[in-house]
Amino acid sequence: MPFEIDALISFSEKDNQNGWVTQFKKYFESMFHQILGSKITLELKSERDDIKDESFKTVGVMIAILSKDYIQSEKCLETLENFHKNCSTQKNDTNRIFKVLKHSLPNQKQPPLLRELVSYEMFKFDFETNMASEYIDFFSEEASNYWMRMADIMYDIHESLLVIKNIDNKKVKYINNKKTIFLAETSRDLSIQRNIIRRELQRYGYKVLPDKMLPLKTKELQSTILSDLEQCSLSIHLIGNAYGEIPVDSEKSVVEIQNRISAEYSANRKRMNEEFPRLIWITPNIQNISDIQKKFIDSIQRDTEAQEGAEILQTPLEDFKNIMREELLSEATNNNIPKLSSKSIYLVHDKIDLQEVSPIINLIKKSGFSVLLPTFDGDLIEIRKKHIQNLRTLDGAIIFKGKVNDNWVRMKVLDLLKAPGFGRTKKIQGKAILSKSSLDQYKNQNLTLLMGKDSESESSIKNFLNELNS
């Protein structure tokens, strides 16, 4: 289906008085082109612009910039309703309307046809004051959430356009045959962490539920959660410092209700001799929590019913993600679905060699491995902490000897030997040193020596990686 306009941005003129909507369009187009490598046709439509019903047939999706001014504009709501009616006449099992929240707007105040849709919150939220406000400087450090949500809506719209345009390629067929993971909704303090994991799961080709706003009445909520779980092969729960939103007719939070229902569902599957694994991550930085949240966390750690089918981890988030990848690999193997590599290579290098390791990073990724890298930001303690974290989780390591001296290399080799002392529990599958110069002094240290320039070193790296995969 050809579209003259890929996405129509519907907004209230008042929300663009300071250029917010215009900036949103500009950033969206730029990111779409830079990250996805293709152009997208966007058009702005405020309540001042007339649009005929027939014109909607030439539009792929609508982005509604939701605010108090938007819901008070009859013209904006009319445009929204008319687009929705046009969509309902076309049989496409994908989302056609996306809601962007420019301001905090309670779900019950939103137009009814938008309430179930996922919210892309493009405002900042202060957890200490419980207040929301607009971003003034989009390029400040605190605006990172704005860009993450921009990436989310960009990827989601791209996927919807692939489906509704009915593009006949392998990517679309793969999208339509995804396996499904239940990624439980979290309290607001973990929304960014949930978002990171959601995007990673989608990158691996998994569909993620819930994909709509959960109801805020307990009976409907429970029914929706159970319906989603029945479509999934695994559930993931993230528990933070906040207790989370509580339905209007309940004393338990949505986070706790999801965990209880998934535990019950796992137990029922077990009685039928079937497995439904669950992963529960509890933040290791517990602080300033309420009594009710403390009671909830205690119940997860001690109550056998709340633990049904679950592996409970209270580790750094990166460690949890590595375990999640292993679980997905196991799930993929058991169900004959496309494998994702759970193996990681720690490419140990110095800041001075940043430019030289870039092609090596790409080569490792193309070989199906995830790449762990050192950090050079922060103080020495933070840099060392990241290095040790990588030593604990890697599957294989390549030490790059570029402009650094032999003493630097010896220290990194020694760190690999000391990895069990840093809390590592499994054997390192492969260790190598990559250099363009002689490595004779490391011949007797149980290391693979990768030498040569360009094509020679590329070939030796591939051989090393192939051995790790065998």
302 and 435, same structural domain? Answer: no
Task: Check residue 171 and give its pLDDT.
Answer: 45
Does 306 or 310 have the greater pLDDT score?
310
Residue at 41: amino acid letter: T
336 and 448, same structural domain? Answer: no
Q: How far apart (Å, rounded) are the C-alpha atoms in residues 152 and 172?
A: 18
> How many structural domains does the chain have?
3
The tokens for 405 are: 């001296």
Band (pLDDT 50/70/90 cuts) for residue 342 is: low
Band (pLDDT 50/70/90 cuts) for residue 470 is: low
What is this structure's pTM? 0.59
CATH of the domain at 311: 3.40.50.2300
193 and 280, same structural domain? Answer: yes
Closest CA to 134 of 110, 99, 101: 101
Task: Check residue 175 and give its pLDDT.
Answer: 42
Q: How far apart (Å, rounded) are the C-alpha atoms in residues 121 and 139?
A: 17
102 and 47, same structural domain? Answer: yes
> 413 CB contacts (<8 Å, ≥6 apart)?
399, 433, 442, 445, 447
318 and 263, same structural domain? Answer: yes
368 and 337, same structural domain? Answer: no
Examine the fold and report which residue of 341, 372, 398 is the final residue of a domain before the chain moves on. 341
Band (pLDDT 50/70/90 cuts) for residue 419 is: confident
Largest CA distance in the chain: 78
Query: Which residues are registered as beta bridge partners of 266?
Result: none
Band (pLDDT 50/70/90 cuts) for residue 168 is: very low
313 and 433, same structural domain? Answer: no
The tokens for 211 are: 């994909």
Examine the fold and report which residue of 341, 366, 382 is the final residue of a domain before the chain moves on. 341
CATH of the domain at 161: 3.40.50.10140
Examine the fold and report which residue of 341, 363, 382 is the final residue of a domain before the chain moves on. 341
104 and 27, same structural domain? Answer: yes
Secondary structure string (H, E, C) spanning the chain: CCCCEEEEEEECHHHHCCCHHHHHHHHHHHHHHHHHCCCCCEEEEECCCCCCHHHHHHEEEEEEEECHHHHCCHHHHHHHHHHHHHHHCCCCCCCCEEEEECCCCCHHHCCHHHCCECEEECCEEECCCCEEECCCCCCCHHHHHHHHHHHHHHHHHHHHHHHHCCCCCHHHHHHCCCCEEEECCCCHHHHHHHHHHHHHHHHCCCEEECCECCCCCHHHHHHHHHHHHCCCCCEEEEECCCCCCCCCCCCCCHHHHHHHHHHHHHHHHHHCCCCCCEEEEECCCCCCCCHHHHHHHHHHHHCCCCCCCEEEECCCHHHHHHHHHHHHHHHHHHHCCCCCCCCEEEEECCHHHHHHHHHHHHHHHHCCCEEECCCCCCCHHHHHHHHHHHHHHCCEEEEEECCCCHHHHHHHHHHHHCHHHHCCCCCCCEEEEEECCCCHHHCCCCCEEEECCCHHHHHHHHHHHHHHHC
**What is the span of the domain harbouring residue 204?**
178-341
Average pLDDT, the chain: 84
197 and 155, same structural domain? Answer: no
Residue 374 scores a pLDDT above 80: yes
Task: Check residue 132 and give its pLDDT.
Answer: 82
288 and 186, same structural domain? Answer: yes
Place of tokens 């000391």: 418
98 and 210, same structural domain? Answer: no
The tokens for 240 are: 């933070």
295 and 372, same structural domain? Answer: no
Residue 423 scores a pLDDT above 70: no
Q: What is the dihedral of CA 187, 298, 228, 277, to 10 degrees?
A: 130
Query: Which residues are registered as beta bridge partners of 313?
Result: 281
